Amino acid sequence: MLLYWVINLFLLLCVPQVFSFASHQPMQDGILGRWDIVIKTPAKELPAWLEVEHSGVQTLTGRFVGSSGSARPISKIEFNNGQFRFSIPPQWEKGKSDLVVEGTLQGNQLSGTMTTPDGERFPWTASRAPSLQRQKPPVWDKPITLFNGKNLNGWHAQGENQWQAVEGILRSPKSGSNLVSDQVFSDFKLHIECRYPKGSNSGVYLRGRYEVQIADSIPVEPSSHLFGGVYGFLTPSEMVNKQPGEWQSFDITLVGRMVTIEANGKMIICNQQIPGITGGAIDSKEGTPGPLLLQGDHGPIEYRNIVLTPAKP
Within the chain, all domains assigned CATH 2.40.128.120 are found at 27-128
pLDDT in tens, 226-258: 999 999 999 999 999 999 999 999 999 999 999
Confidence at residue 22, expressed as pLDDT on a 0 to 100 scale: 42
Within the chain, all domains assigned CATH 2.60.120.560 are found at 144-310
Greatest alpha-carbon pair distance for the chain in Å reads 96
The pLDDT confidence band at residue 10, using thresholds 50, 70 and 90, is: very low
**What's the fold here for domain 144-310?**
Jelly Rolls (2.60.120)
How many contiguous H segments (helices) and E segments (strands) does the chain have? 1, 21
What DSSP line would sit under 181-195, residue for residue?
ESS-BSSEEEEEEEE
Cβ–Cβ < 8 Å for 186, 285: no
Confidence at residue 305, expressed as pLDDT on a 0 to 100 scale: 98
pLDDT in tens, 168-207: 999 999 999 999 999 999 999 999 999 999 999 999 999 9
CA distances from 295 to 13, 119, 123 (A): 60, 28, 28
Question: Has residue 9 got a pLDDT over 90?
Answer: no
How many percent of the chain have pLDDT more than 90? 81
Say how far apart CA 241 and CA 194 lie, in whole Å: 11
pLDDT in tens, 24-45: 455 678 999 999 999 999 999 9
Q: What are the residues whose beta carbons fall under 8 Å from the beta carbon of 22, sequence distance 6 or more?
A: none
pTM assigned to the model: 0.90
Question: Has residue 5 got a pLDDT over 50?
Answer: no
Cβ–Cβ < 8 Å for 186, 151: no
Using DSSP bridges, classify how beta strands 59-65 and 45-55 pair: parallel, antiparallel or unpaired.
antiparallel
Confidence at residue 152, expressed as pLDDT on a 0 to 100 scale: 98
The CATH number, out of the four listed (3.40.960.10, 2.30.40.10, 3.40.50.300, 2.40.128.120), of the domain defined by the range 27-128: 2.40.128.120
User: Of the ranges 54-58, 278-282, 303-307, which one carries the lowest mean pLDDT score?
Assistant: 54-58
Question: Has residue 161 got a pLDDT over 60?
Answer: yes
pLDDT (mean) for 122-127: 98
